Amino acid sequence: MTILNEIRTVGVVGAGQMGNGIAHVCALAGYDVLLNDAAEGAIDQAIETIEHNMHRQVGRGFIKDDDMRAAMGRIKRAPSLKDFGACDMAIESAIENEDVKKKIFADLSPVLGANAILATNTSSISITRLAATTDRPDKFIGVHFMNPAPVMKLVELVRGLATSQDTYNTSLRFVESLGKTIANAEDFPAFIVNRVLVPMINEAVYTLYEGVGSVEAIDKAMRLGANHPMGPLELADFIGLDTCLAIMQVLNEGLADTKYRPCPLLVKYVEAGWLGRKSDRGFYDYRTDPPTPTR
């Protein structure tokens, strides 16, 4: 794989489960990476996670030890967005909250060079609307990675109304240089993958809420009955219940169809701070091995 000439340095804003995966993939492909997060200690924790995950890839023979060391050397901490001046592409991957994302773009735009591409990893929010709040709607695009980014092959590319052909072409070649395959999605709420996947997860939570099945029964039924590699509740914990809820809210508001009503039980889990794997508890409790269903 060869990196693009016009993109040498990639900035990643938000070093959570997706941001660290995106930084991982970009650094392994040969890009210099700047990693930012607003939370205390989050960048260091992300770098530890990336190193741990790359070690696993070395152990499985997917990459060489030298590749890992070179890639880790390309990742730099960027505690402030002011450090993003050298970025040719910035990928925003902070929490799924429109106001938070808009504030990041407002802070980032004046720092970036005039030709830099501004991308977002949003799972559901309108690319056109986010782009319109920036100084570069023509250089703004949705680059939606799947979780976990180092493993999953697909990236959805989503053009806003104003995204230029040049921005699309460069982003397409950039994503391909990461060894990923793209699917083009139009800019409608939750795009393709999450438009189909997250309502299915929400329905699984309704199935639990109405007592049709237990956590274990629902997951087992979908694994063995529909041949899904993971049950929907296990998958919801993996995605993050806050992210699942945010996507349902975007679908509900954006498409104004009651079939997208978020399940009250999903809301309750998020209100409890039981967000899934990332907070050690969701539909399963991950502090035990194997994880224990919480209902």
Name the residues annotated as catalytic: 123, 144, 156, 194
**104 scored as a contact of ligand NAD (CB under 6 A):** yes
Which among 89-97, 110-118, 181-189, 218-226 is the span making contact with ligand NAD, rule CB under 6 A?
89-97
Q: Which is nearer to ligand NAD, 115 or 184 (CB)?
A: 184
Q: Which is nearer to ligand NAD, 59 or 110 (CB)?
A: 110
List the one residue from 95, 106, 183, 230 that touches ligand NAD (CB under 6 A).
95
CA distances from 171 to 142, 167, 181, 191 (A): 9, 6, 12, 17
Q: Which is nearer to ligand NAD, 222 or 235 (CB)?
A: 235
Q: Which is nearer to ligand NAD, 19 or 291 (CB)?
A: 19
Which among 164-172, 182-190, 196-204, 235-243 is the span making contact with ligand NAD, rule CB under 6 A?
235-243
Bridge-based pairing state of the strands 284-285 and 75-77: unpaired
Cα gap 294→262, rounded to integer Å: 19
Q: How many amino acids of this chain bind ligand NAD (CB under 6 A)?
A: 28
**241 scored as a contact of ligand NAD (CB under 6 A):** no
According to CB under 6 A, which residues from 205 to 224 bind ligand NAD?
none
**42 scored as a contact of ligand NAD (CB under 6 A):** yes
Q: Which is nearer to ligand NAD, 42 or 86 (CB)?
A: 42
Cα gap 37→79, rounded to integer Å: 7
Q: Encoding tokens for residue 254?
A: 């954006």
Taking the complex as a whole, how short is the minimal distance between the CB of residue 162 and ligand NAD, in angstroms? 21
**131 scored as a contact of ligand NAD (CB under 6 A):** no
**145 scored as a contact of ligand NAD (CB under 6 A):** yes
Q: Encoding tokens for residue 161?
A: 């109304």
Q: Which is nearer to ligand NAD, 52 or 69 (CB)?
A: 52
**266 scored as a contact of ligand NAD (CB under 6 A):** no
Which among 24-32, 133-141, 219-227, 238-246 is the span making contact with ligand NAD, rule CB under 6 A?
238-246
List the one residue from 49, 53, 109, 147 that touches ligand NAD (CB under 6 A).
147
Cα gap 168→119, rounded to integer Å: 11
**Binding stretches for ligand NAD (CB under 6 A):** 13-19, 36-39, 42, 93-96, 100, 104, 121-123, 144-145, 147, 239-240, 243, 278
